[in-house]
Amino acid sequence: MPAPLTTFVGRRREAAGVCARLERGRLVTLTGPGGAGKSRLAIEVATALKARYRHGVWFVELAGLSDPLLLTHAVAAGLDVPEQAGRALPEVLTERLRDAALLLVLDCCEHLVEAVAQLVLRLLSACRHLRVLATSRERLGVPGEALWPVAGLAAPPEHVGEAGVMEYDAVRLFVDRATAVEPEFAVTGSNAAAVARICRKLDGLPLAIELAAARTNALDAPQLSKWLDDRFRLLAWESRAPLPRHRTLDRVVEWSYDLLSEAQRALFERLAVFAGAFTLEAAEAVAAADADGAAELGGLILQLVDKSLVTVVPQHTPTRYRLLETLRAYGLERLRRRGELETLSAQHAAYFLNLAEQAWERFRGPHQAVWLNRLKSEHDDLRAALEWLLASREVDGAVRLAGALASFWDVQGRYAEGCVWLGRALGADHEGTAKGRVRALIGLGLLAVIQGDLERAWHSCSEAEQLSRRDGDLQGLVCALQYLGFGALLLGNPDHAVEVLGESLDAALKTGEPWLVGWSYLFLAMVEVTRRDFARAVRHGRTAFGLLCEAGEPKSIAWAELTLGTASWGLGDIEDARARTGEALRLFHKLDAPWGLAEVFQITAMLALPVHHWERAAALFGASDTARKQSGAALLPFLKRWRAAGIAKARAELGGQRFDTAREHGRRWPLEAAVLAATAELGTALPPPPAAAPAPAAGARDASAEAPQQATLRRQGDYWALAHGGHVIHLKHAVGLGYLARLLGEPDREFLARDLAAAERGAPRGTPVAPEGPASSGPGDAGPALDARAKAAYRRRLRELAEELDEAERFNDTARAERARVELDAVTEQLAGAVGLGGRDRRAASDSERARLSVTKALKSAVKRIAVHDPVLGLHLERSIRTGAYCSYAPDPASRIVWG
């Protein structure tokens, strides 16, 4: 969920009503004008309902999406639903959500209303436990849709006195935002009427009120009201013609716009060309009118930030900015009226084309991860640039930009989206003469071959080969031949693959480029792996590895390591195979490359078989399936036979039911969990050779890789019993027990949890526990180990909360800061008493202690009931009980709460 930067004022009853409506219906659409607070209300409702949905609450923002054809891709990406080769994404999405109990929030649907309506209808018809909360300026028109109009906040009527105005949400919002820019601002007898008048004239619209409140550092309330009087009639008249559906909000935006200086106005309009978050560097390159403008642009942006017209995006280095979508739409319309939109869009496209081509040049070097993150941050604007180039028939630019992004789409596993853009760009080049066409064709061939679409890959690379030979493009020829050779290998023709790859190697040697030569050798090594000539594969692989290390590109080095690891596995050199596969895992994980990780998990599963880690191997096979689906990559044909043989072996040893259970568990692992499991497997010391340690009989228990779900933790009176592998460990009910319970509940931590529970000074892992009962403290006493773990976990959370509090205070987010302070207090208090599972018993020691606990429990229950009706009072009462301090509370928020 997006983290709000300001407090949520008012709408508590509305939020409760929307929650109740979602209980009765499956689709609720928040409707209303721009700036009415639909998105913020949706976030608040979704946050309140998070615990009610077993599979969570998912927020998908559609404001940056302009092409309806990519709607399903955006929703799937927001839901972490992977693409699958050969299957339509709507079908995959429907299948994934069929039995999921979740709430899907679709924000800003009005510009894609038809596409959203069709997708929502399909999902709701097929997924009976799914609920959808949408925000839109118009209804979706789907059967069963419940509309919830979101109007302005309640504003005070005329003749309401000073004491009464603060009862209205619009005034409370104005005061909250005004004090953020002018700390001394307060509603008094001299300005109460003016504040009420401002809120009424702005129709209580939250965005309009925030824009007005931002001026209180320069104008007092009566002056602000007068300025609004002067402009109100003009704004109401001007807003009727150009954009009727924006009419209410345009009055406020126009007024705020008129208060800007000429330089601020010009910059505000020009910044609207950015579709996503932008850096100061990008703003200087695109939005500055000249060199002098670039010099003062930074100061102007800060001024617009102060006026709430530009938003600072947190947690970004360097700092990024963005315009709210409504404000951006207004700025774009102003540019269009002035006739400047085409010029600015051309400058925008040129900047991002240049950026993408810079990234393509540097993608083959050691700074690949840096450029990968840069392109991820710029992806919305890269899409917008592509869309404008295609719409403007700037074919050369569109083909160059799409071709330059192919490597980015490859590493990120965005194969389907990349193919859409590359196909559109190449299809627009009817004459086949665009600059960069060879690069785009090779990029399309690469993405297609990874998806298993070998026919499309062959056509693209064949055309690239012909154009490269015609134009003397030696580098293009090498890449085209490499992918043609790889395609031949995937088609089961290794002899033809060697012939084509040999030609690519000859051409690569002429270029003198280590990266190109290295990849020709690496493809040849893959051919020899397929032929099972592992010795020759090692020779080719080592040559490739040396050349690719010289180039320094992490992705290429990772594939070289994995190929060499596979060859070493084939030669029986398991130690080298583990080391190289582990290095490939590290590099692919750093790049967040799902296809590479899928192949690492599969090789790791096969490496687990010789050491009889049957269940871990089964889980890793499942994790490989999931990662491959996330990337949309096809299973390499020459790995299918080995995978099938490995699965058959593990199934025979475990039995069908245990194997399927373990593999299904691995399929449910999140990516980080699978990485941890693979790391654990690759870092495990090799067992004694079979002569010293005979292999277990089929179906024997594998103590080194138990299925995680076989561990149980149950309450037995005042103690807990952890049962695993036939052993029972009795634990006191203490602070550290919560840490153990969390470990057992996380699929990536079950091995660690089991090891900690069996920990003992000097005792080997898995030592049986003597059945002395709860009082035993012999083998299996987990206290010392879990004490350290629990305290480390608490201290780590304290550091995280301190960082969160610092960031919240920097952005004046009082609600977030207060939440962080409350949790800081609670965690600090817990840490003071955290003595682990070996620590003091938490049972009441006496009748008086039990009575005290009973009274405290009753007080907390009463405070919870109070908090439902008055959250602020409830929060202070909770703090009072927790800290033992007294407080006096006044219901007027303008008054201070006094602590005693």
pLDDT digits (tens, 9 = 90+) for 306-325: 665 777 776 677 888 888 66
Where does residue 431 rank: exposed (0-12), middle (13-18), buried (19+ CB within 10 A)?
A: exposed
pTM of the shown model: 0.58
On the question of pLDDT at 435 being above 70, the answer is yes
DSSP H or E run through 28:
strand 27-31
Question: How many CA atoms within 13 Å lie on the side-chain side of 722?
Answer: 27
Confidence label for 741 from pLDDT (cuts 50, 70 and 90): low
pLDDT tens per residue across span 276-295: 889 888 998 888 866 555 66
On the question of pLDDT at 731 being above 80, the answer is no
Full strand arrangement of the beta sheet holding 27-31: 57-61, 103-107, 131-136, 27-31, 146-149
Please name the amino acid found at residue 735: V
Average pLDDT over residues 417-441: 89
Full strand arrangement of the beta sheet holding 712-716: 712-716, 719-724, 727-732
pLDDT tens per residue across span 238-252: 333 233 333 445 655
Average pLDDT over residues 98-121: 89
On the question of pLDDT at 598 being above 60, the answer is yes
Least confident of 36-50, 257-271, 507-521, 798-812: 798-812
DSSP H or E run through 750:
helix 750-757
- Mean pLDDT for all residues in the chain: 77
Which percentage of the chain shows pLDDT scores above 70? 72
Average pLDDT over residues 827-845: 49
Please name the amino acid found at residue 499: E
828's CB contacts (< 8 A; 6+ apart) are: 798
Where does residue 420 rank: exposed (0-12), middle (13-18), buried (19+ CB within 10 A)?
A: middle
Q: Which two tokens stand for residue 726?
A: 């036939």
Are 675 and 604 spatial neighbours (Cβ–Cβ below 8 Å)? no
58's CB contacts (< 8 A; 6+ apart) are: 78, 79, 102, 103, 104, 105
Between 237 and 473, the more confident residue is: 473
Average pLDDT over residues 435-449: 92
Q: Which two tokens stand for residue 691?
A: 């002569």
Per-residue pLDDT, 474: 92
Are 740 and 838 spatial neighbours (Cβ–Cβ below 8 Å)? no
On the question of pLDDT at 883 being above 60, the answer is no
pLDDT tens per residue across span 121-160: 999 988 988 999 999 877 788 888 888 888 778 888 776 7
On the question of pLDDT at 748 being above 50, the answer is no
Length of the chain: 900
Between 35 and 815, the more confident residue is: 35
Between 717 and 584, the more confident residue is: 584
Per-residue pLDDT, 785: 54
Least confident of 13-22, 66-75, 461-470, 704-713: 704-713
Backbone angles phi, psi at 106, to 5 degrees: -110, 110
Between 57 and 258, the more confident residue is: 57
End-to-end CA separation in angstroms for the chain: 38
Confidence label for 816 from pLDDT (cuts 50, 70 and 90): low
The top-scoring range by mean pLDDT among 286-295, 510-519, 686-695 is: 510-519
Question: How many CA atoms within 13 Å lie on the side-chain side of 720?
Answer: 24
On the question of pLDDT at 659 being above 80, the answer is yes
Find the angle CA(42)-CA(48)-CA(54) to the nearest 5 degrees: 105
On the question of pLDDT at 233 being above 90, the answer is no
Backbone angles phi, psi at 689, to 5 degrees: -60, 160
Of 80, 74, 50, whose CA–CA distance to 669 is shortest?
80
Per-residue pLDDT, 539: 92
| C-alpha separations of 812 from 17, 310, 312, 643 in Å | 29, 15, 12, 55
* Whole-angstrom distance, CA of residue 627 vs CA of residue 630: 5
The top-scoring range by mean pLDDT among 46-55, 227-236, 756-765, 878-887 is: 46-55
Between 456 and 706, the more confident residue is: 456
91's CB contacts (< 8 A; 6+ apart) are: none
Average pLDDT over residues 190-209: 81
